[in-house]
Structure 1
Amino acid sequence: MTEFILQLAGRIRDITRMDGVSGGEHSGSVQKVLRRPSCLQESSPVSRHRLAHDDQRAALLHRISSTKMTGTDREPEDGGNLPTEVENVARKELREDPNTRKQALRLMREWLAKNRDISNCRTDSNFLLRFLRVKKFSVPMAQQTLLKYLNFRQTFSHLLMRLDPLDPVVEGLIRSGYIFVSPYRDALGRRVVIYITRMLDPQVHTAAHMCQAHMLTYETLLEEDKNQVMGVCHVADLRQLPLSTVTLWDPNEFSTIVKWGEQSVPMRHKEIHFLNVPTPLRYVYDFACSRISEKMKNRFVLHNSLDQLHNRIDTCVLPKEYGGTMPMTEMIELWLGEVTAKRERLLGLDNIQLLSTDGIISRKKKYPQDHKSNITSLTGSFRKLEVD
C-alpha cells in the first residue's frame, strides 16, 4: 500500500505541474486522469459543468499531494469556502448564507462547550456544518442529529468505528470495486457512489467489513463541504450478488442499522439507483424500504438494464465498463488516494465520545421541562439570524 501511495503522489505531482498551462498537449497519463468525456460537447450545459469539474478535480488532487496523505488541509473557520454556484444552492435549498452560517456555528460551539454528555468532539466548521446543513440550519435539530450520530457509532462500534483505509481487508474490498466514488460529478454537481455488489465474498468478508467500507466512503465524502451541500447520488449493480450475503447479518441488527443510518448519518442522499436486482433479493429490498422514510423511499429507482440507467444518469460519471469513459480500475485508484488522504481524520472520529444518551429526544421520550426551555431559547436565537 505504501508503494501505491508513493506512485499516486508522483502521478498527482505530474498533474498539478500542468496548472496554469493552456493550449499545450498533455502527456498520455495526464489525459487519462483528467480526460474530458467524449460524450460532452463544449457548447452543452453539462460539458461546461464538466470543464469546471476538471478544474475542481485538479484542485482536489493538488490537495491530496500537498497534505502528504494526512488529510489535514486547512479551511476557513466559518466554512465560507464554497464556490459561487454551490453558495447559491446552499442559500436556496438549505437557507444558508454567511451570516446564518457564522451564528449557527457559534451556537453549536457554545452548546458543545457546555454539554457534559459529549467528550472530545470536533468543533471545526466542516464537522459541525454537516449536521447543520442536513437539517437546513435548524440548530436544535442539528444538535439532535449529532447526538444520534455519536450514539449510532458507539452502539455499533464493531461495525462503524476503526475506519482505516489501510486495513488490508477493507482496502481490498474497495479495490475490488465493491464500493468506490466516481472522480466526476454529475450535471447537478453531485459525487456518485458506485457499488458492484458481486465483488463481496461472504467467505472472506463480514458485515463489519461491509459497514466499514461504506462508512469510510461516506465520511470521506463529508470531509468536503461541496458534497455536504450538493448531496450524493448512488448507483448499485446487484447482478450476481451472492444470496449467502444475507446470512452475514442478524435481521434485527440489519433493521436497526438501516433505520438509524438514515436518521443519524448527515448526508443528503439525492438519488439511489439499483440495477439488476435479483428476484430472490426483492424481499430484502422491500424489507429495507419498510424501515426508511417515505421521502427516502421515493428516491429509490429500480432498473432492469443499463439502457434504463443511462436514461436517468449522466453516463460520463460511470466507469467505462458501464458506458462511461474512465476504466473502473482508474476510478478506484483515484478514490483510494482520496480516502487515504483523509485517514487521520477518519481514525480521529473514534476520539469523540458520547458519555450519556440522556440528551437524545425520541418519539417515545418526551422533553424534560428544563430541556424544553433550552430548545425554545435556541430556536428563538436561530430565528433572529434571519433579521439581524
Structure 2
Amino acid sequence: MTQLIISTPQWSKSEPDLADYENDVLKKQQALLKKELAKIAEQELRETEHSKQECLRQFKLWIAQNEDIRKCILDDSFLLRFLRVKKFSIPMAQQTLLKYLNYRKRFPHIFLEMDYSETKVNELISNGYIYVSPLRDNKGRRVVIYDLSKFDPKKHTGTDMARAHAITYETLISNEENQILGLTHVADISGVNASFLTLFSVTDFAVLIRWGEQSFPMRHKEIHILNMPQALKYVFDFAKTHMSQKLKERFMVHDSIQNLFEKLDPRCLPKEMDGGAISSKTMIQAWQNELDDKRKRLLAIDDIELLSDRGIICSKNKELMNQQQANLVGSFRKLEVD
C-alpha cells in the first residue's frame, strides 16, 4: 500500500491567521497530493486513466438503460465515488449506487434537503459536535472530529445527529481526493451517557450502521475512539456485529490522548485536544466555508429518483437479521441499568 506522508509546519504558540494558514499549509498539501494521487489511485483502487474513462462510459450507459433510476447526476465526480469505493468493479458500483439511493429513500428524514444551514444541524456543527480539520493527516486524509460532550440529547434528536453526519460525509465524498485517499475519524466519546439510547430504536440503529457501510460510498481508513466509558462497550460491541470484518479492524480504541498520538499526527487536531496551534473555532469556521461551497450540490441529489429496489441483490436473510437484533436488545437495556 502506498503511503503519502505529508508534514505540517510547527506553528508558533500563537494561532496563525486563517488566511495565512490557508495559503501556507493547504497549498503545500495540495501540491503534494497532486503529485502522489494518481499513483495511490492506481495501486490501491486499480484506477488508470483508461480504466476510469471506460468504466465511466459503461456506468453511464447502464444508468441510462435502467428503468428504475431517474434524473441521476451523471457528472464524473459523482459517479466516480461509487466506482472508486468498489475498486472499479462495475457490477459492484452499480449495486452501491442502487443501495445508496435506496438508503436515502428508506431514511428521507435524514437524507433529503441536506442543508447545513438548517438550525438544528448548524448548531451541532457550530458548537463542535462534528467538524472536519482543514489539515490532513500524514497520509493525506481529511480528519473528521467528533466531540460527543457537545451533543445534548435533551436538545437534539437522533435525526439531528444523523443529518449532521450525513451532510458532513456527503460534502467530503464530493471531493475526488477524499474518494481516493479515504477518511480518518477521531471521536472523543467521554460525554456519552445512557440518555443517548433514546436517540434511535434498536432496529434503526442497526440498519443505519449496516446499510451505511454497504450503501454509502466512503472509504473509512482509520477510526480512533477516545475516552470510551466502560458502560458504552455494550453499544460498541452491538454496533460492531453489523460491520464488515474490514471495518472492525480499522477501529482503534485509545485510553489516553498520548496513546492516540502514537497513531495520529497531533498537528491535524485542534489545540483543545492538545493538537496543533489551530483552535477548534478556526477549524469549524473553515469547515463551514466548505459546507457552504457544496450546499447546492448536496441539495441537487434530491432530484434523483429510485422507482424500485428490485435491482438490489440482498446478501443476508432479513429474518435472521431481525432475530439477531432481538437477541441484542438486552445489551441496550443493560446499559440503561448501568
Q: TM-score range by the shorter chain?
A: 0.7 to 0.9
**Measured at CA, do residues 318 and 364 of structure 1 come closer, stay the same or move farther in structure 2, by a change above 3 Å?**
closer
Instruction: Give the match for residue 31 of structure 1.
Output: 20
CA separation in 1, counterparts of 2:295 and 2:21?
A: 26
Which of 21, 28, 32 is 1:52 aligned to?
28
**Measured at CA, do residues 112 and 178 of structure 1 come closer, stay the same or move farther in structure 2, by a change above 3 Å?**
same
Deviation at 1:243, TM superposition (A): 2.3
Instruction: Give the match for residue 362 of structure 1.
Output: 314
**Measured at CA, do residues 243 and 204 of structure 1 come closer, stay the same or move farther in structure 2, by a change above 3 Å?**
same
CA deviations 1:262-309 (Å, max 9, x no partner) are: 000001100000000011111011100111011100000000110001
Root-mean-square deviation over aligned CA pairs:
1.7
Deviation at 1:242, TM superposition (A): 3.3
Give the number of equivalent residue pairs: 301
Q: Work out whether 1:252 is the aligned partner of 2:228.
A: no
Deviation at 1:107, TM superposition (A): 0.3
Deviation at 1:31, TM superposition (A): 3.1
Instruction: Give the match for residue 114 of structure 2.
Output: 163
Instruction: Give the match for residue 275 of structure 1.
Output: 226
Please tell me whether the aligned partners of residues 207 and 248 of structure 1 are also in contact (alpha carbons under 8 angstroms). yes
Instruction: Give the match for residue 148 of structure 1.
Output: 99
Please tell me whether the aligned partners of residues 47 and 88 of structure 2 are also in contact (alpha carbons under 8 angstroms). yes
Instruction: Give the match for residue 189 of structure 1.
Output: 140
**Measured at CA, do residues 340 and 29 of structure 1 come closer, stay the same or move farther in structure 2, by a change above 3 Å?**
closer
Deviation at 1:33, TM superposition (A): 4.8
Residue aligned with 1:213, SS: helix
Which of 225, 228, 243 is 2:179 aligned to?
228
Please tell me whether the aligned partners of residues 171 and 294 of structure 2 are also in contact (alpha carbons under 8 angstroms). yes
CA separation in 1, counterparts of 2:210 and 2:167?
A: 19
Please tell me whether the aligned partners of residues 120 and 351 of structure 1 are also in contact (alpha carbons under 8 angstroms). yes
CA separation in 2, counterparts of 1:285 and 1:28?
A: 39
Which of 271, 283, 294 is 1:342 aligned to?
294
Deviation at 1:34, TM superposition (A): 5.0
Deviation at 1:205, TM superposition (A): 0.7
CA separation in 1, counterparts of 2:293 and 2:193?
A: 32
**Measured at CA, do residues 291 and 168 of structure 1 come closer, stay the same or move farther in structure 2, by a change above 3 Å?**
same
Please tell me whether the aligned partners of residues 150 and 191 of structure 2 are also in contact (alpha carbons under 8 angstroms). no
Matches within 5 A, 1:127-142: 127-142=78-93
Please tell me whether the aligned partners of residues 161 and 212 of structure 1 are also in contact (alpha carbons under 8 angstroms). no
Residue aligned with 2:221, SS: strand
Deviation at 1:164, TM superposition (A): 0.4
Residue aligned with 1:194, SS: strand
**Measured at CA, do residues 205 and 96 of structure 1 come closer, stay the same or move farther in structure 2, by a change above 3 Å?**
same
Matches within 5 A, 1:85-100: 85-100=36-51
CA separation in 1, counterparts of 2:228 and 2:314?
A: 34
Amino acid at match of 1:272: I
Instruction: Give the match for residue 131 of structure 2.
Output: 180
Q: Work out whether 1:106 is the aligned partner of 2:82.
A: no
Deviation at 1:364, TM superposition (A): 5.2
Deviation at 1:55, TM superposition (A): 5.8
Instruction: Give the match for residue 331 of structure 1.
Output: 283
Q: Work out whether 1:302 is the aligned partner of 2:253.
A: yes
Please tell me whether the aligned partners of residues 182 and 193 of structure 1 are also in contact (alpha carbons under 8 angstroms). yes
Amino acid at match of 1:274: I
CA separation in 2, counterparts of 1:102 and 1:54?
A: 24
**Measured at CA, do residues 278 and 53 of structure 1 come closer, stay the same or move farther in structure 2, by a change above 3 Å?**
same
Residue aligned with 2:290, SS: helix
Please tell me whether the aligned partners of residues 18 and 282 of structure 2 are also in contact (alpha carbons under 8 angstroms). no
Instruction: Give the match for residue 123 of structure 1.
Output: 74
Please tell me whether the aligned partners of residues 160 and 208 of structure 1 are also in contact (alpha carbons under 8 angstroms). no
Residue aligned with 1:128, SS: helix
> Which segments of 5 or more consecutive residues in structure 1 lack a partner in the other structure?
1-26, 37-49, 57-81, 366-388
Instruction: Give the match for residue 83 of structure 1.
Output: 34
Amino acid at match of 1:349: I
CA deviations 1:328-375 (Å, max 9, x no partner) are: 00000000110111110111111111100111111259xxxxxxxxxx
TM-score by length of 2: 0.86
Please tell me whether the aligned partners of residues 170 and 212 of structure 1 are also in contact (alpha carbons under 8 angstroms). yes
Deviation at 1:28, TM superposition (A): 4.6
CA separation in 1, counterparts of 2:110 and 2:64?
A: 29
> Which segments of 5 or more consecutive residues in structure 2 lack a partner in the other structure?
1-15, 318-338
Residue aligned with 1:83, SS: helix
**Measured at CA, do residues 263 and 55 of structure 1 come closer, stay the same or move farther in structure 2, by a change above 3 Å?**
same
CA separation in 2, counterparts of 1:30 and 1:363?
A: 49
Structure of larger gyration radius: 1
**Measured at CA, do residues 129 and 54 of structure 1 come closer, stay the same or move farther in structure 2, by a change above 3 Å?**
closer
Residue aligned with 2:135, SS: strand
